[in-house]
Structure 1
Amino acid sequence: MKKQTIVASALCALLSGAAFAQPVESPWLVRARAVHLDSANGDSTGLGLAINNKWIPEFDISYFVTPKVAVELVLTVPQKHTLSAAGTAIGSFKHLPPTLTAQYHFDALGSGAFKPYVGAGINYTRFSAVNLPAGVDIKRSSWGPALQVGMDIPLGKQLSLNLDLKKVYIRTDVSAAGAKIGTFKADPMLFGVGLGWRF
């Protein structure tokens, strides 16, 4: 009986030590980024429509389903853009573009200097505060795919530097006097740099 007790105690100690030796990371990661929006400005109306490029704030929340697979929700505040035709400002609007992506992270628990990832998902954009010439209007919502590559560079146990590049497909129909005259494709490239916190 005494030997069985000793063996059981030793086994428990070994198992406890092995459990503590395993790296355990929280499934939650939050990031704050400064993002440069560079619009493709594709236009089929013949008016030469374009919006201005700008820096915007971005906040995202990621949940790791496994150590290498995560789901990321990208959020920001409504962004105001000036709309120009052939280089002349003709109005403005705001857009809110939340994006949801699924990501694969390489070397998620490894000891590398950086941890790259790729992602793909969907974007929904809502246009508001539309201020355009009388009779001219745009469709208020847009659905499109989103593609993503990036990397996290560890700065500490929980803190990391993040570099992120996304291609998001955002487009809207343009109408005049109630009739569609073409499609404006913002389809921006978004380059972001920021900090991430794993908790």
Structure 2
Amino acid sequence: MKNVITLAAAVALAGSTAVVQAYEAGDWILRAGAVTVAPDADSDIVDETLPVTVDVDDNTQLSIIGASMVDPNWGIELLVATPFSHDIDVNEVNAQAGETKHLPPTLSVQWYPRGAASGWQPYVGIGINYTHFFDEKADSDLEGIVGNADLDLDDSFGLSASAGVDMPLGEHWALNAGVWYIDIDTTATVTLKDAGDSKVRFDVDIDPWVYNVGIAYKF
């Protein structure tokens, strides 16, 4: 009987260990999955030469997120992803203005309220984002209206807020879901090649919601 009780206790201990996801100082957490950037875009007309506003569509890419635990309750996280690609649409004429790619690395300080406790690990954070735009191209729709054109977007620095949760699958593995709101403001410049390289500028507040779903591994 004693052996049965001992065995049962060992099984119970093993089962409880399987769901442990407590965080400690020095832990590294690698998260990977699918991340969607959903812009909540708003633009202002800066130059009345081309009095239109623009919108930016959604895109999904692969994410890699690394976090380092400073202590059981505080961590530092870096979000990176494969390059996002977005179409830029002209609202007033239902046409595509162009397209761009961007990389939005985001560094955050995060608070884990459960800290050293086992089980689910929710967290919230604040941080800073740098967005680099590249491979901008004016679309044929826009060029059909204004003639030959070039498109350029300024890089952006802004603040971010985030929240997420790690849901343990074992001692090291977990499911992860996270969301960020990022302040991305840029100036879009359209150079009208057939009008003596005159320039039309728009202030564009992209301000996306960013959603990530994937897996996590604790080292």
1:42 aligns with 2:56: no
Question: Residue 129 of structure 2 corresponds to which residue in structure 1?
Answer: 123
Question: Residue 196 of structure 1 corresponds to which residue in structure 2?
Answer: 216
With over 3 angstroms needed to count, the CA separation of the structure-2 counterparts of 1:24 and 1:153, relative to structure 1, is closer
Structure 2: distance between partners of 1:157 and 1:176? 53
Question: Residue 166 of structure 2 corresponds to which residue in structure 1?
Answer: 152
Gaps of 5+ in 1: 1-22
With over 3 angstroms needed to count, the CA separation of the structure-2 counterparts of 1:146 and 1:24, relative to structure 1, is closer
Q: TM-score, normalised by structure 1?
A: 0.81
Question: Residue 106 of structure 1 corresponds to which residue in structure 2?
Answer: 113
Structure 1: distance between partners of 2:163 and 2:217? 19
Percent identical residues: 28
Structure 1: distance between partners of 2:127 and 2:74? 13
The one-letter code matched in structure 2 to 1:95 is: H
CA contact (8 A) 1:33 1:194 kept: yes
With over 3 angstroms needed to count, the CA separation of the structure-2 counterparts of 1:184 and 1:136, relative to structure 1, is farther
1:164 aligns with 2:182: no
Question: Residue 182 of structure 1 corresponds to which residue in structure 2?
Answer: 202
CA contact (8 A) 1:138 1:172 kept: no
What secondary structure sits across from 2:71 in the alignment? coil
The one-letter code matched in structure 2 to 1:196 is: A
Structure 1: distance between partners of 2:208 and 2:107? 16
CA contact (8 A) 2:98 2:151 kept: no
**Cα drift, residue 179 of structure 1:** 4.8
CA contact (8 A) 1:173 1:180 kept: no
1:63 aligns with 2:63: no
Which whole-Å deviations, capped at 9, do the CAs of 1:150-176 have from their partners, x for residues lacking one?
111111001111110100111211234
Structure 2: distance between partners of 1:94 and 1:73? 20
The one-letter code matched in structure 2 to 1:198 is: K
Gaps of 5+ in 2: 1-21, 46-50, 192-197
Which whole-Å deviations, capped at 9, do the CAs of 1:23-81 have from their partners, x for residues lacking one?
88551000002122211011112523111112221111101011111000111122111
Structure 2: distance between partners of 1:53 and 1:116? 26
Which whole-Å deviations, capped at 9, do the CAs of 1:96-133 have from their partners, x for residues lacking one?
11010000011122134x21111000000111001125
Structure 1: distance between partners of 2:166 and 2:182? 21
Structure 2: distance between partners of 1:55 and 1:139? 20
